[in-house]
């Protein structure tokens, strides 16, 4: 009786002449093509440019006597702790006559008031007639 010997072939071996591409290579090719082709389909095309922002934006202006602490915290050098100190100081010394009075707030950085001055103001209500 003849015995048949089966010879297994390794289907996973890589031959340079093989036309089969593993999934990773296919994915890389697809992604490369998308990167090259997709910019042409954007609304402005591949030549999209950034446009300057309109100058209609109002600069930050904090009402010294009514601003909550979180508005003060937007200013450089002022975190929550200093912002709460400012609000506490203003509530105890209201009405303030000038922005210079804020120099009495404990713990403000040296020179801070001069830097912050363009962002501070008073929105006083007009007296009733």
CA distance 23 to 31: 12
Q: Which residues contact 42 (CB under 8 A, 6 or more apart)?
A: 48
CA distance 128 to 105: 32
- pLDDT tens across 72-120, in order? 999 989 999 999 999 999 999 989 999 999 999 999 989 999 999 999 9
Quick one: tokens of 13?
């071996």
- Quote the pTM value: 0.53
Quick one: tokens of 22?
């593993």
CA distance 22 to 19: 10
Quick one: tokens of 75?
């200013």
Tell me the C-alpha to C-alpha distance, in Å, between residue 21 and each of 10, 18, 29, 36, 69.
Answer: 16, 8, 10, 21, 62
User: What are the chain's domains?
Assistant: 62-121 (1.10.150)
Handedness of CA 71, 72, 78, 84 (dihedral sign): negative
Question: How does residue 23 score in pLDDT terms, banded at 50, 70 and 90?
Answer: confident
pLDDT value at residue 3: 53
DSSP assignment letter at 105:
S
Question: How does residue 125 score in pLDDT terms, banded at 50, 70 and 90?
Answer: low
């Amino acid at each position: 009786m003849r015995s048949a010997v089966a010879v297994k072939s390794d289907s996973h071996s890589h031959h340079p002449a093989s036309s089969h591409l593993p999934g990773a290579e296919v994915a890389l090719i697809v992604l490369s093509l998308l990167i090259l082709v997709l910019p042409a389909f954007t609304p402005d095309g591949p030549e999209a440019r950034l446009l300057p922002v309109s100058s209609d934006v109002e600069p930050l202006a904090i009402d010294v006597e009514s601003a909550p602490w979180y508005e003060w915290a937007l200013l450089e050098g002022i975190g929550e702790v200093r912002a709460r100190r400012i609000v506490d100081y203003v509530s105890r010394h209201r009405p303030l006559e000038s922005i210079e009075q804020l120099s009495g707030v404990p713990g403000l950085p040296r020179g801070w008031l001069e830097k912050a001055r363009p962002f501070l103001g008073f929105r006083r209500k007009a007296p009733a007639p």
